[in-house]
Amino acid sequence: MNRRLPVLTAASTPLDRALCGLRRLFMLVLAFAYVALFVLLAGEGLSVALDAGDGIVLAGSVATMPWAALIHVPIMLGYLGFAAVALHPRYRDDTLFRRIGWLTVIGVGLSCARMAAAFLNMAWLVAPLALAALLVLGRALVVLAWWPRPISMARRMVVNLPIGLHAGWLTVLAPLNILSAFPAGAQALSLGGGFLALVGLLALAIAGVRLTRAEPAFVVAILWGLFAIMARGGVPSLGQPLGLMAILAALVIIAFALWTRTQSRPAHFL
Protein backbone atom coordinates (compact mmCIF):
# COMPACT_ATOMS: atom_id res chain seq x y z
CA MET A 1 0.00 0.00 0.00
CA ASN A 2 1.39 3.36 -0.98
CA ARG A 3 1.58 5.85 1.83
CA ARG A 4 0.81 9.40 0.76
CA LEU A 5 1.94 12.43 2.69
CA PRO A 6 -1.01 14.59 3.77
CA VAL A 7 -1.17 17.76 1.74
CA LEU A 8 -1.34 20.94 3.78
CA THR A 9 -3.62 23.43 2.14
CA ALA A 10 -3.67 27.16 2.59
CA ALA A 11 -4.37 28.39 6.09
CA SER A 12 -8.13 28.42 6.39
CA THR A 13 -8.63 30.13 9.72
CA PRO A 14 -7.49 33.51 11.03
CA LEU A 15 -5.39 31.74 13.68
CA ASP A 16 -3.62 29.61 11.06
CA ARG A 17 -2.87 32.64 8.93
CA ALA A 18 -1.66 34.59 11.97
CA LEU A 19 0.70 31.77 13.04
CA CYS A 20 2.11 31.41 9.51
CA GLY A 21 2.68 35.16 9.33
CA LEU A 22 4.30 35.17 12.76
CA ARG A 23 6.62 32.33 11.78
CA ARG A 24 7.76 34.15 8.64
CA LEU A 25 8.29 37.37 10.60
CA PHE A 26 10.34 35.63 13.29
CA MET A 27 12.48 33.94 10.64
CA LEU A 28 13.19 37.25 8.93
CA VAL A 29 14.08 38.99 12.21
CA LEU A 30 16.30 36.11 13.38
CA ALA A 31 18.08 35.90 10.02
CA PHE A 32 19.04 39.57 10.32
CA ALA A 33 19.91 39.10 14.00
CA TYR A 34 22.27 36.27 13.03
CA VAL A 35 23.96 38.56 10.49
CA ALA A 36 24.18 41.42 12.99
CA LEU A 37 25.76 39.23 15.68
CA PHE A 38 28.37 37.81 13.31
CA VAL A 39 29.24 41.18 11.79
CA LEU A 40 29.56 42.67 15.28
CA LEU A 41 31.95 39.93 16.35
CA ALA A 42 33.85 39.65 13.06
CA GLY A 43 34.42 43.40 13.13
CA GLU A 44 36.91 42.72 15.94
CA GLY A 45 38.58 39.94 13.95
CA LEU A 46 37.84 36.32 13.05
CA SER A 47 39.50 35.11 16.25
CA VAL A 48 36.98 37.15 18.24
CA ALA A 49 34.11 35.79 16.12
CA LEU A 50 35.30 32.27 16.83
CA ASP A 51 36.32 32.60 20.47
CA ALA A 52 33.77 35.12 21.75
CA GLY A 53 31.02 34.15 19.31
CA ASP A 54 31.30 30.37 19.18
CA GLY A 55 32.40 29.99 22.77
CA ILE A 56 35.59 27.92 22.47
CA VAL A 57 38.10 30.44 23.81
CA LEU A 58 38.77 28.19 26.84
CA ALA A 59 38.90 24.90 24.94
CA GLY A 60 42.57 24.35 25.74
CA SER A 61 44.60 22.45 23.19
CA VAL A 62 41.68 21.34 21.01
CA ALA A 63 40.08 24.20 19.09
CA THR A 64 39.70 25.41 15.52
CA MET A 65 41.63 27.97 13.52
CA PRO A 66 40.06 31.47 13.44
CA TRP A 67 39.23 31.21 9.73
CA ALA A 68 36.83 28.37 10.58
CA ALA A 69 34.35 31.09 11.65
CA LEU A 70 33.88 31.96 7.97
CA ILE A 71 31.41 29.08 7.77
CA HIS A 72 28.90 31.50 9.27
CA VAL A 73 28.88 33.46 5.98
CA PRO A 74 27.07 30.83 3.83
CA ILE A 75 24.88 29.94 6.82
CA MET A 76 23.61 33.48 7.35
CA LEU A 77 23.22 34.14 3.62
CA GLY A 78 21.26 30.91 3.33
CA TYR A 79 18.95 31.91 6.17
CA LEU A 80 18.34 35.29 4.54
CA GLY A 81 17.36 33.41 1.39
CA PHE A 82 15.18 31.07 3.44
CA ALA A 83 13.35 34.02 4.99
CA ALA A 84 12.94 35.76 1.63
CA VAL A 85 11.59 32.67 -0.14
CA ALA A 86 9.20 31.91 2.74
CA LEU A 87 7.74 35.41 2.31
CA HIS A 88 7.01 34.85 -1.38
CA PRO A 89 3.27 34.27 -1.98
CA ARG A 90 4.02 31.06 -3.85
CA TYR A 91 5.59 29.47 -0.76
CA ARG A 92 3.54 30.98 2.04
CA ASP A 93 1.57 27.75 2.48
CA ASP A 94 4.19 25.37 1.13
CA THR A 95 4.11 21.96 2.82
CA LEU A 96 7.86 21.72 3.33
CA PHE A 97 8.18 25.19 4.84
CA ARG A 98 5.28 24.51 7.18
CA ARG A 99 6.87 21.24 8.35
CA ILE A 100 10.28 22.71 9.15
CA GLY A 101 9.44 26.41 9.61
CA TRP A 102 9.07 26.54 13.37
CA LEU A 103 11.95 24.09 13.87
CA THR A 104 14.20 26.41 11.89
CA VAL A 105 12.99 29.49 13.75
CA ILE A 106 13.62 27.88 17.15
CA GLY A 107 17.00 26.50 16.08
CA VAL A 108 18.24 29.84 14.74
CA GLY A 109 16.91 31.61 17.82
CA LEU A 110 18.75 29.22 20.14
CA SER A 111 21.93 29.65 18.13
CA CYS A 112 21.69 33.45 18.30
CA ALA A 113 21.20 33.15 22.06
CA ARG A 114 24.27 30.88 22.21
CA MET A 115 26.41 33.43 20.37
CA ALA A 116 25.18 36.20 22.65
CA ALA A 117 25.89 34.08 25.77
CA ALA A 118 29.42 33.34 24.54
CA PHE A 119 30.00 37.03 23.85
CA LEU A 120 28.87 37.84 27.40
CA ASN A 121 31.25 35.18 28.84
CA MET A 122 28.35 33.07 30.11
CA ALA A 123 30.21 29.82 29.46
CA TRP A 124 27.82 27.77 31.60
CA LEU A 125 24.97 28.63 29.20
CA VAL A 126 26.75 28.17 25.88
CA ALA A 127 26.94 24.37 25.84
CA PRO A 128 23.25 23.73 26.72
CA LEU A 129 22.15 26.22 24.06
CA ALA A 130 24.47 24.62 21.49
CA LEU A 131 23.06 21.17 22.23
CA ALA A 132 19.47 22.42 22.12
CA ALA A 133 20.03 24.22 18.80
CA LEU A 134 21.70 21.10 17.39
CA LEU A 135 18.77 18.89 18.39
CA VAL A 136 16.17 21.24 16.89
CA LEU A 137 18.03 21.92 13.63
CA GLY A 138 18.98 18.26 13.44
CA ARG A 139 15.30 17.35 13.57
CA ALA A 140 14.60 19.77 10.71
CA LEU A 141 17.45 18.24 8.71
CA VAL A 142 16.09 14.72 9.27
CA VAL A 143 12.70 15.87 7.90
CA LEU A 144 14.49 17.23 4.82
CA ALA A 145 16.59 14.10 4.36
CA TRP A 146 13.56 11.80 4.46
CA TRP A 147 11.24 14.06 2.45
CA PRO A 148 9.31 11.76 0.09
CA ARG A 149 9.27 14.13 -2.89
CA PRO A 150 12.14 15.68 -4.87
CA ILE A 151 13.49 18.99 -3.59
CA SER A 152 14.62 21.39 -6.29
CA MET A 153 18.20 22.63 -6.35
CA ALA A 154 17.04 26.23 -5.83
CA ARG A 155 15.17 25.29 -2.67
CA ARG A 156 18.03 23.12 -1.45
CA MET A 157 20.31 26.17 -1.62
CA VAL A 158 18.14 28.15 0.83
CA VAL A 159 16.86 25.26 2.96
CA ASN A 160 19.15 22.20 3.02
CA LEU A 161 22.37 24.21 2.68
CA PRO A 162 22.06 26.61 5.65
CA ILE A 163 20.37 24.10 7.95
CA GLY A 164 22.87 21.37 7.04
CA LEU A 165 25.91 23.62 7.46
CA HIS A 166 24.54 25.02 10.72
CA ALA A 167 23.75 21.61 12.21
CA GLY A 168 27.16 20.29 11.13
CA TRP A 169 28.98 23.26 12.65
CA LEU A 170 27.04 22.86 15.90
CA THR A 171 28.06 19.19 15.91
CA VAL A 172 31.67 20.37 15.97
CA LEU A 173 31.03 23.13 18.52
CA ALA A 174 28.92 21.23 21.05
CA PRO A 175 31.75 19.05 22.48
CA LEU A 176 34.13 22.03 22.43
CA ASN A 177 31.57 24.19 24.23
CA ILE A 178 31.22 21.50 26.89
CA LEU A 179 35.00 21.39 27.27
CA SER A 180 35.10 25.19 27.47
CA ALA A 181 32.64 25.12 30.36
CA PHE A 182 35.31 23.41 32.50
CA PRO A 183 38.42 25.50 31.89
CA ALA A 184 40.36 24.21 34.88
CA GLY A 185 39.95 20.58 33.85
CA ALA A 186 40.61 21.38 30.21
CA GLN A 187 43.89 23.11 31.03
CA ALA A 188 45.04 20.48 33.54
CA LEU A 189 44.20 17.56 31.28
CA SER A 190 44.40 19.21 27.87
CA LEU A 191 45.25 16.05 25.94
CA GLY A 192 42.66 13.94 27.75
CA GLY A 193 40.04 16.66 27.46
CA GLY A 194 40.80 17.11 23.77
CA PHE A 195 40.52 13.36 23.20
CA LEU A 196 37.13 13.27 24.92
CA ALA A 197 35.93 16.25 22.87
CA LEU A 198 36.96 14.56 19.61
CA VAL A 199 35.33 11.29 20.66
CA GLY A 200 32.11 13.15 21.45
CA LEU A 201 32.31 14.99 18.14
CA LEU A 202 32.81 11.72 16.26
CA ALA A 203 29.88 10.06 18.04
CA LEU A 204 27.56 13.00 17.28
CA ALA A 205 28.78 13.12 13.69
CA ILE A 206 28.20 9.42 13.01
CA ALA A 207 24.70 9.57 14.51
CA GLY A 208 23.91 12.69 12.49
CA VAL A 209 25.25 11.26 9.25
CA ARG A 210 23.11 8.17 9.67
CA LEU A 211 19.93 10.04 10.61
CA THR A 212 20.29 12.62 7.81
CA ARG A 213 21.29 10.11 5.13
CA ALA A 214 24.67 11.81 4.91
CA GLU A 215 23.25 15.20 3.93
CA PRO A 216 26.19 16.76 1.99
CA ALA A 217 26.10 20.16 3.71
CA PHE A 218 26.07 18.51 7.14
CA VAL A 219 29.09 16.34 6.30
CA VAL A 220 31.01 19.23 4.72
CA ALA A 221 30.56 21.41 7.83
CA ILE A 222 31.88 18.67 10.11
CA LEU A 223 34.89 18.06 7.86
CA TRP A 224 35.52 21.81 7.77
CA GLY A 225 35.60 21.90 11.57
CA LEU A 226 37.86 18.85 11.83
CA PHE A 227 40.26 20.31 9.27
CA ALA A 228 40.40 23.54 11.28
CA ILE A 229 41.10 21.55 14.47
CA MET A 230 43.85 19.65 12.67
CA ALA A 231 45.38 22.90 11.38
CA ARG A 232 45.44 24.40 14.88
CA GLY A 233 46.84 21.20 16.38
CA GLY A 234 49.83 21.20 14.05
CA VAL A 235 51.09 18.70 11.51
CA PRO A 236 49.47 15.35 12.37
CA SER A 237 52.07 13.11 14.01
CA LEU A 238 52.71 11.16 17.19
CA GLY A 239 54.08 14.40 18.60
CA GLN A 240 50.85 16.22 17.71
CA PRO A 241 48.23 13.60 18.66
CA LEU A 242 45.19 15.87 18.54
CA GLY A 243 45.84 16.81 14.93
CA LEU A 244 46.31 13.13 14.13
CA MET A 245 43.05 12.21 15.90
CA ALA A 246 41.21 14.94 13.98
CA ILE A 247 42.32 13.65 10.60
CA LEU A 248 41.51 10.06 11.57
CA ALA A 249 38.03 11.17 12.68
CA ALA A 250 37.57 12.94 9.34
CA LEU A 251 38.51 9.78 7.43
CA VAL A 252 36.06 7.71 9.48
CA ILE A 253 33.25 10.22 8.81
CA ILE A 254 33.99 10.30 5.06
CA ALA A 255 33.94 6.50 4.85
CA PHE A 256 30.75 6.23 6.89
CA ALA A 257 29.04 8.97 4.85
CA LEU A 258 29.90 7.23 1.57
CA TRP A 259 28.62 3.92 2.93
CA THR A 260 25.40 5.58 4.14
CA ARG A 261 24.76 7.16 0.73
CA THR A 262 25.14 3.81 -1.02
CA GLN A 263 22.86 2.04 1.48
CA SER A 264 19.97 4.49 1.40
CA ARG A 265 19.45 6.84 -1.51
CA PRO A 266 16.47 9.20 -1.23
CA ALA A 267 14.46 10.14 -4.27
CA HIS A 268 16.14 13.55 -4.43
CA PHE A 269 19.69 12.15 -4.27
CA LEU A 270 22.08 14.50 -6.08
87-115 confidence digits (pLDDT tens): 887 777 788 888 999 999 999 999 999 88
157, 81 contact by CB (below 8 A) = yes
Place 11 in a pLDDT band, splitting at 50, 70 and 90.
low
Place 173 in a pLDDT band, splitting at 50, 70 and 90.
confident
More confident residue, 99 or 59: 99
Place 40 in a pLDDT band, splitting at 50, 70 and 90.
confident
Task: Tell me how far apart the alpha carbons of residues 80 and 31 are, in angstroms, rounded to a whole number.
Answer: 6
Instruction: Please say if the pLDDT value at position 267 is more than 70.
Output: no
Mean pLDDT score of the chain, rounded to an integer?
80
pLDDT of residue 51: 62
Q: What pTM does this model have? A: 0.85
Beta strands in 174-252 (DSSP E): none
pLDDT of residue 95: 84
Residues 6+ apart with CB under 8 A from 216: 164, 270
Contacts of 249-256 spanning 24+ positions with Cβ under 8 A: 249/198, 249/201, 249/202, 249/205, 250/223, 250/226, 252/202, 252/206, 253/202, 253/205, 253/206, 253/209, 253/219, 253/222, 253/223, 253/226, 254/219, 254/223, 256/206, 256/209, 256/210, 256/214
Instruction: Please say if the pLDDT value at position 53 is more than 80.
Output: no
Q: How far apart are the first and last CA of the chain?
A: 27
pLDDT of residue 266: 47
Nearest CA-CA partner of 61 in 200, 229, 226: 229
Instruction: Please say if the pLDDT value at position 178 is more than 90.
Output: no
- Percent of the chain whose pLDDT exceeds 70: 77
> H-helix or E-strand containing 109?
helix 95-119
Task: Tell me how far apart the alpha carbons of residues 256 and 262 are, in angstroms, rounded to a whole number.
Answer: 10
Nearest CA-CA partner of 269 in 153, 138, 158: 153
pLDDT of residue 88: 82
Instruction: Please say if the pLDDT value at position 155 is more than 50.
Output: yes
Task: Tell me how far apart the alpha carbons of residues 158 and 75 are, in angstroms, rounded to a whole number.
Answer: 9
208-261 residue pLDDT tens: 999 999 999 999 999 999 988 887 765 544 456 777 888 899 999 999 999 998
Q: Which amino acid is at 202?
A: L
CA distances from 164 to 41, 142, 213, 225 (A): 23, 10, 12, 14
186-219 residue pLDDT tens: 444 455 667 778 888 999 999 999 999 999 999 9
More confident residue, 269 or 178: 178
Instruction: Please say if the pLDDT value at position 61 is more than 90.
Output: no
Place 5 in a pLDDT band, splitting at 50, 70 and 90.
very low
pLDDT of residue 116: 86
108-121 residue pLDDT tens: 999 999 888 877 87
DSSP 7-31: PP-S--SHHHHHHHHHHHHHHHHHH
Q: Which amino acid is at 154?
A: A
- Percent of the chain whose pLDDT exceeds 90: 39
Residues 6+ apart with CB under 8 A from 185: 193
